Structure 1
Amino acid sequence: MMEKYVIGLDIGTTSAKAVLFKKNGSVIAESEWGYSVSHPNPSWSEQDPIIIEKAAITAIRSVTKKAGVMKKQVIAVGISTAMHSLICVDNKYNPLSPSIIWADGRSVEQANKLRLQTDIYLKTGTPIHPMSPLCKLVWMKENDYQPYIEAAMFVSIKEFLLLRWFGEAVVDYSIASATGLFNIHTFDWDDDVLEVAGVTRNQLSKPVGPTAICQGLTSELANLLGLETDTPFVLAGSDGPLANLGIGAIAPGDVAITVGTSGAIRQMASKPQTDNRQEVFCYAVTEDRWIMGGPTNNGGIVFQWLRDVLGEKEVELALTKGENAYELLTKLASTVTPGSDGLLFLPFLNGERAPYWDANARGSFIGLTMAHKKEHMIRAGLEGVVFSLYSVAVALERLAGESINIFASGGFARSPLWLQIVADIFGQPVHVPQSHQSSAWGAAWFALLAVGEASSLESIKDSIPMKQTYEPNNLASNNYKELYKTYYQLYEVLKPHFSTIANYQRNVK
């Protein structure tokens, strides 16, 4: 009997990954193709959508070729993408603008004004922040941005691909929810918010459920992808809820922590919950499930910065001896005791989203002494990212309830040191799957559901090969509890200075 496979296509901030799975969750092959982020002005973050499209095509073609599977063995492709991207396109689906991504901060002024209109957040579940397409659209309107004026449609990177590959203007609930334009109670675009953004319904895609299928590739595109022309492409969702699904964190009390370039902590809920504090997001996933949580701008990108600034020796060793620079740096950091001998790091290198939603926030080392060395700074950086996630967890528990099980996914799940830091700071065991590509597996599972090869959302728990569990060290946990009290207060103390510094930086060319 011919073996069947499913592909999870995960389009992230820095790369497009195609992962070929068996139906039981086993990874057969992976293929990853990177692309860059450009910063044409201070705080702007843009990407070329055509380059991303080419990377996605290459990743899919490469993964089937690597595995040596036949076209007809791939029964479906599920699509996961990062949230909050915005592209202006013409009526032939050509891009008029770059893809303006989640990390873009040009709409700080607009976000500050919109944040006062709490009804927008209460209806949409999207915190008012420059990450959201709503704020970007208002910036475009107020600055007479030419692509905005000429646009036939405003789309995310996923919608862009679906338009170009199938000519269908559809968007799944979770990507729509992350725009700030979608009402999570009515499952439709919100007319009042559309008026604020200055866009009309016919400039947006039709919201559909995660098992919606697009089908009918041209022969030319099918050949480029290495797939049959009738291969079903399933919309699935955004990378956040799909990571929860792919790791099995779908029951009350199941919490997923994901760290890739950015990071997030999330929990599924059976009803939408928002309040005036606007600390966490609440996005629709299916018609009876919502995802709640908070993202940090500063995940793996902090480690990348530490490598670039402090890891010259390790990078050189990696290049000459074929070793991994990140592994060398974590090995060095592991020689330092938990708490980095009193050195704290606020990891706000990219501003910050949850729970502060402050694009002006800036990174800081606190407590530096002559006794601290490079290894202390590296460990403090890793700890700072986890402290940031823990601060979101505190806000999340207020609305979603106490965490019972913690699951880890994303690139950081390959780092034993980072995972132990999570277990110690949270004071709970951390469960890790064999594959760190949980968003891709979540997308693939929705694809299996869509084509009738899976029975239910919940049954994915039987198809997630687990790797190991990291148990907290009580002594380390107690030390971190004390340090967190200081970490938590530092943001409020430094906030006025962050604003002054950020304004200065924006005015320096």
Structure 2
Amino acid sequence: MKNYVIGLDYGTDSVRAVLVDTGSGEELATDTFYYPQWRDKKYCNAAINQFRQHPADHIEGLEKTIKGVLAKTSVDGSAVKGICIDTTGSSPIAVTKEGTPLAFEEGLKENPNAMMVLWKDHTAINEANEINELARTWGGEDFTKYEGGIYSSEWFWAKIAHVIREDEAVKNAAYSWMEHCDLLTFMLIANQDLASFKRSRCAAGHKAMWHESWGGLPPKDFLNKLDPYLGELRERLYTETYTSDEVAGNLSAVWAEKLGLSTDCVVAVGTFDAHSGAVGAKIDKHTLVRVMGTSTCDIIVSEQENVGDKTVRGICGQVDGSVIPKMIGLEAGQSAFGDVLAWFKDVLNWPLENLVFNSAIISEEQKAKLRDEIDKDFIKKLSEAAEEIPLSESIPIALDWINGRRTPDANQELKSAITKLSLGSKAPHIFKALINAICFGSKQIVDRFEEEGVKINSVIGIGGVARKSPFIMQTLANVLNMPIKVASSDEAPALGAAVYAAVAAGLYPNVIEASKKLGSDFEAEYHPEPEALETYAGLMEEYKELGAFVENNINRKSTVNEL
């Protein structure tokens, strides 16, 4: 009898399920569900960088996508042996003692602070600054040292501190807090004891300052100095954490019936999407995997003896087992990648939305057709025009900090900037400048890893941007001066989750062996163009100069004025 596993990948906009034959490694079916309340921008306020999601979207998506892949293949649900869930992170949510999200509790159902606080939410900048200041001055261990030495407003403790200071009702109602990947895993399993539930090593180590050397989470006396609530909360969280090749529990009878699966199906410990994507892309030593979508996550693994006690400054953490058990997973990334281009598209769309699509001259049918045509060709036409611009032609210089800077050296207060505009600067010139900027931001990350002694021999790109934009990938190869392979699967993170599920179910002995069989193949490879290297090296220096000016002058003045 054939065996199957399901990987679930929760991204920013949608959840995707993939059904995999564990014998052949074939992706039999995929299914996608877009979050309806998120699409309607509910609970969000971009003006203050508030981005929240209702867990009802995620639960509905789980049921629909799993049923969807089964329906597309007619696979018997009893043959599905394992499930694993990856999500964005850090995306914490407040829960009751029973593990129910506060978003489902009376009186809190429409409260943004009771929703999941999405990774890209930057409302906790002040709290992150407090954590960094305390870590350096409190007289004890610096608990940020395995997280790059700088704690981000995108992460667990900062977000919780912000919410509970802002909202007394949520503070009083919350028994505990869970990362998104933990919440959904807990929801599926039969054992509903929150105290004994196996929390994700990946989430805890990269975002919650968990480390074995100090006994797990930061101690109560440290957290009390931030806020007494956090010290009390620590007692209701966890001490141990687990890698995603381990079993969190068996599928509950309720969910088995809902999904058409068996209670013999195991649910693996949850993880983050980028780390899972690296596994789905067959990550190996000295290979940097770039998960390229709305933002990027950059993942590399190293043997424990190569890293030792050395801490890599300015990244998003180094965690034993966060990618491959018994290897150190190192994470970096950009707060905006595809989002930079999406912002520019929104800017150019303004006259269309407010003039053309509100016009009485054209019919509603014509408007709908025009909207579809523009959506289909917008980025494609800009890319083609930008690619035609000669290297010798003057191009503006832009920064990719449209949503702050994640790495190197997290600073979510930073804002983007653009210079060298002229009367000759048309939309393709600005678009090319933005593509250059996201590639220069990538180069800064690669340079930081190498400066810190982390060897990189090759780069793998996964995600929508990697597969759909040859122009961006060629530019990136030129800027990095490295070849880049592109994974052929659209679902590398979901595939990585399937790999973890297969190991947890006992179908493979370890993650590396399972990844070789179930991971994605490669469909393209981009090589640096020798004639372009000097030009891009010069533009990179201009990017660095602009970045230093903005960070040391404009951003510093803005911060002082806010104070």
TM-score, normalized by the shorter chain, greater than 0.5: yes
Distance (whole Å) between structure 1 residues aligned to residue 542 and residue 390 of structure 2: 18
Distance (whole Å) between structure 1 residues aligned to residue 168 and residue 314 of structure 2: 29
- Count residues with an aligned counterpart: 504
Q: Is the 8 A contact 2:146 2:312 kept in 1?
A: no
Distance (whole Å) between structure 2 residues aligned to residue 58 and residue 339 of structure 1: 51
**Match for residue 165 of structure 1 among 183, 188, 191:** 188
**Match for residue 128 of structure 1 among 151, 175, 180:** 151
Residue number in structure 2 paired with 1:282: 318
**Match for residue 236 of structure 2 among 181, 203, 226:** 203
Query: What secondary structure sits across from 2:344 in the alignment?
Result: helix
Query: What secondary structure sits across from 2:269 in the alignment?
Result: strand
Distance (whole Å) between structure 2 residues aligned to residue 339 and residue 260 of structure 1: 30
- Give the counterpart letter for 2:481 in structure 1: G
Distance (whole Å) between structure 2 residues aligned to residue 265 and residue 184 of structure 1: 24
Moved more, 307-316 or 30-39: 307-316
Residue number in structure 1 paired with 2:67: 61
Which residues of structure 1 form unaligned runs of 5+? none
Q: Is the 8 A contact 2:292 2:338 kept in 1?
A: yes
Aligned residue runs from structure 1 range 360-439, under 5 A: 360-414=413-467, 415-439=469-493
Cα 1:356/1:179, change in 2 over 3 Å: closer
Moved more, 218-227 or 353-362: 218-227
Verify: 1:22 aligned to 2:75, yes or no: no
Query: What secondary structure sits across from 2:144 in the alignment?
Result: helix
Q: What is the deviation of 1:443?
A: 1.3
| CA RMSD of superposed structures (Å) | 2.8
Residue number in structure 1 paired with 2:33: 33
Verify: 1:154 aligned to 2:177, yes or no: yes
Q: What is the deviation of 1:50?
A: 2.1
Cα 1:323/1:292, change in 2 over 3 Å: same
Residue number in structure 1 paired with 2:301: 268
Q: What is the deviation of 1:142?
A: 4.3
Verify: 1:302 aligned to 2:354, yes or no: no
Residue number in structure 2 paired with 1:489: 545
Deviations 1:427-475, CA, capped at 9 Å, x for gaps: 1111112103222111111111112222333222354322121111112
Deviations 1:169-189, CA, capped at 9 Å, x for gaps: 321210111332311546722
Verify: 1:240 aligned to 2:274, yes or no: yes
Which residues of structure 2 form unaligned runs of 5+? 103-113, 137-141, 354-367
Percent identity of paired positions between Structure 1 and Structure 2:
21
Residue number in structure 2 paired with 1:250: 284
Query: What secondary structure sits across from 2:207 in the alignment?
Result: coil
TM-score by length of 1: 0.90
Residue number in structure 1 paired with 2:361: none
Q: Is the 8 A contact 2:148 2:312 kept in 1?
A: no
Q: What is the deviation of 1:10?
A: 0.6
Aligned residue runs from structure 1 range 61-100, under 5 A: 61-96=67-102, 97-100=114-117
Moved more, 166-175 or 197-206: 197-206
Moved more, 328-337 or 299-308: 328-337
Q: What is the deviation of 1:194?
A: 4.5
Q: What is the deviation of 1:489?
A: 2.1
Cα 1:378/1:226, change in 2 over 3 Å: farther
Cα 1:503/1:375, change in 2 over 3 Å: farther
Q: Give the structure with higher Rg (CA).
A: 2
Distance (whole Å) between structure 1 residues aligned to residue 68 and residue 534 of structure 2: 47
Aligned residue runs from structure 1 range 451-466, under 5 A: 451-459=505-513, 460-463=515-518, 464-466=520-522
Q: What is the deviation of 1:212?
A: 2.2
Query: What secondary structure sits across from 2:479 in the alignment?
Result: helix
Cα 1:226/1:498, change in 2 over 3 Å: farther
- Give the counterpart letter for 1:396 in structure 2: F
Moved more, 206-215 or 130-139: 206-215
Aligned residue runs from structure 1 range 224-235, under 5 A: 224-235=258-269
Q: Is the 8 A contact 2:85 2:185 kept in 1?
A: no
Distance (whole Å) between structure 2 residues aligned to residue 486 and residue 322 of structure 1: 33
Distance (whole Å) between structure 2 residues aligned to residue 306 and residue 115 of structure 1: 33
Query: What secondary structure sits across from 1:448 in the alignment?
Result: helix
Q: Is the 8 A contact 1:125 1:184 kept in 2?
A: no
Query: What secondary structure sits across from 1:178 in the alignment?
Result: helix
Q: What is the deviation of 1:62?
A: 1.4
Which segments of structure 1 move beyond 6 Å, counting only runs of 4 or more? 312-316
Q: Is the 8 A contact 1:307 1:329 kept in 2?
A: no
Moved more, 220-229 or 173-182: 220-229
Distance (whole Å) between structure 1 residues aligned to residue 332 and residue 477 of structure 2: 19
Q: Is the 8 A contact 2:298 2:332 kept in 1?
A: yes
Deviations 1:300-358, CA, capped at 9 Å, x for gaps: 11122122222577997561488454334333332234587322221211112111311
Residue number in structure 1 paired with 2:218: 190
- Give the counterpart letter for 2:344 in structure 1: L
Distance (whole Å) between structure 2 residues aligned to residue 227 and residue 338 of structure 1: 56
- Give the counterpart letter for 2:175 in structure 1: A
- Give the counterpart letter for 1:289 in structure 2: M
Residue number in structure 2 paired with 1:177: 205
Deviations 1:373-400, CA, capped at 9 Å, x for gaps: 1111122222211111111111111234
Query: What secondary structure sits across from 1:351 in the alignment?
Result: coil
Q: Is the 8 A contact 1:80 1:238 kept in 2?
A: yes
Deviations 1:97-153, CA, capped at 9 Å, x for gaps: 111122122221222232232402125557311011111233345446431333111
Q: Is the 8 A contact 1:265 1:393 kept in 2?
A: no
Q: What is the deviation of 1:409?
A: 0.7
Moved more, 204-213 or 332-341: 332-341
Cα 1:125/1:492, change in 2 over 3 Å: closer
Cα 1:402/1:452, change in 2 over 3 Å: same
Residue number in structure 1 paired with 2:121: 104
Distance (whole Å) between structure 2 residues aligned to residue 111 and residue 479 of structure 1: 38
